[in-house]
Amino acid sequence: MFGYIITNHETLSEERQQRFRAAYCGLCRTLRQRHGLKGSATISYDMTFLALLLNALYEPEEKQGRERCVAHPAKAHDYFVSPVMDYVSDMNLALAYYKCLDNWEDDRNLMSAAESGLLKSAYERVKKAWPDKCRAIENWLREVHTFEREGKMEIDLPVNATGRLLGELFAWPEGGEWTEVLRTVGDGLGRFVYFMDAYEDLPEDARKGRFNALKPLRDREDYEEMCRSAMSMMLADAAEAFETLPIVQDYELLCNVLYSGVWSKYALLQKRREQKKGVK
């Protein structure tokens, strides 16, 4: 799961693409400094978006730079870092750790089990620094596994649980002026992420007999329309809250993600389906 909160490169200017890449590289650099190379390997576009969002809202001092790294040794690249990225990198690491545990739980994936072992000590440090945030991640994974184990085929249950999780991670700092608005943005995006992931995985989950809460709905005549409408409403909740934030810096870039980028995977799936139909 996760990996859906991305930019739409086709509608993004080169300048804003470079800005997103600089944020991505800055977050990667922060992960490496705080958690080593194994930490930087966990970087995600979802958390890059959160870093940009919090950075745009609170406008902390940024440190610009240019460097080569292990991932890109041949060519130097721009980056920027700010105090916001310390928090976001820790949340990125915690999510990656639990993603590995989730993969092991679902598929008995040995690689994921090994990766979780490599990340465990770093996660324990993050947990000590952010106990409430990590407890939210633990509770979310426990909830979702309970739904799966008990075969609860009600899509709203895991969808809402994931919304609560991402809402908690977006709500930073606790007690700040904009904390509850950020929570609403994260909640809408979290619900969308789970639903989109279930939508994408349904064909394979059905073939392999794996849990997917959309299974009972797949034979509805209006299944596709229902899915698109549900995801649209979730994103509308996130966007409505986002528009109340006093954001000027990187506003167009953030809008590109919220209004267009998040639909990139959906559009790709539809294109592939049309191509398959054309082959038949």
Q: What is the sign, positive or negative, of the torsion defined by CA atoms of 161, 165, 166, 168?
A: positive
Question: Are 94 and 137 in contact, with CB atoms under 8 Å apart?
Answer: yes
User: Given pLDDT bands bounded at 50, 70 and 90, which one contains residue 1?
Assistant: low
Query: What is the pLDDT at residue 107?
Result: 62
Looking at residues 108-137, what average pLDDT do you find?
85
Evaluate whether residue 69 is within a structural domain.
yes
Per-residue pLDDT at 140 exceeds 70: yes
Q: Which stretches does DSSP call E strand in 97-183? A: none
pLDDT in tens, 62-113: 999 999 887 777 788 999 999 999 999 999 999 999 888 877 566 666 566 6
Q: How confident is the model at residue 102, as a pLDDT?
A: 75
pLDDT value of residue 154: 97
**Could you read off the pLDDT of 7-22 as tens digits, one per residue?**
999 999 999 999 999 9
120 part of a folded domain: yes
pLDDT digits (tens, 9 = 90+) for 220-261: 999 999 999 999 999 999 999 999 999 999 999 999 999 999
Residue 3 resides in a domain: no
Short-list 53, 76, 70, 67, CA closest to 5? 53
Distance CA(243)–CA(118), nearest Å, equals 40
144 vs 19: CA distance, rounded Å:
35
- The more confidently predicted of residues 98 and 202 is 202
User: How far is Cα 224 from Cα 83, in angstroms, rounded to an integer?
Assistant: 42
- State the residue range of the domain holding 129: 9-279
Residue 87 pLDDT: 98
* 2 domain-assigned: no
Residue 142 within a domain: yes
Q: What is the mean pLDDT of residues 150-174?
A: 97
Average pLDDT over residues 146-170: 96
Q: In this structure, what CATH number is given to the domain that contains residue 187?
A: 1.10.600.10
Is 108 part of any domain? Answer: yes
The answer to whether residue 127 scores a pLDDT higher than 80 is yes
Domain count, the chain: 1
- For residue 36, being part of any structural domain is answered with yes
In a domain, 4, yes or no: no
Average pLDDT over residues 153-159: 97
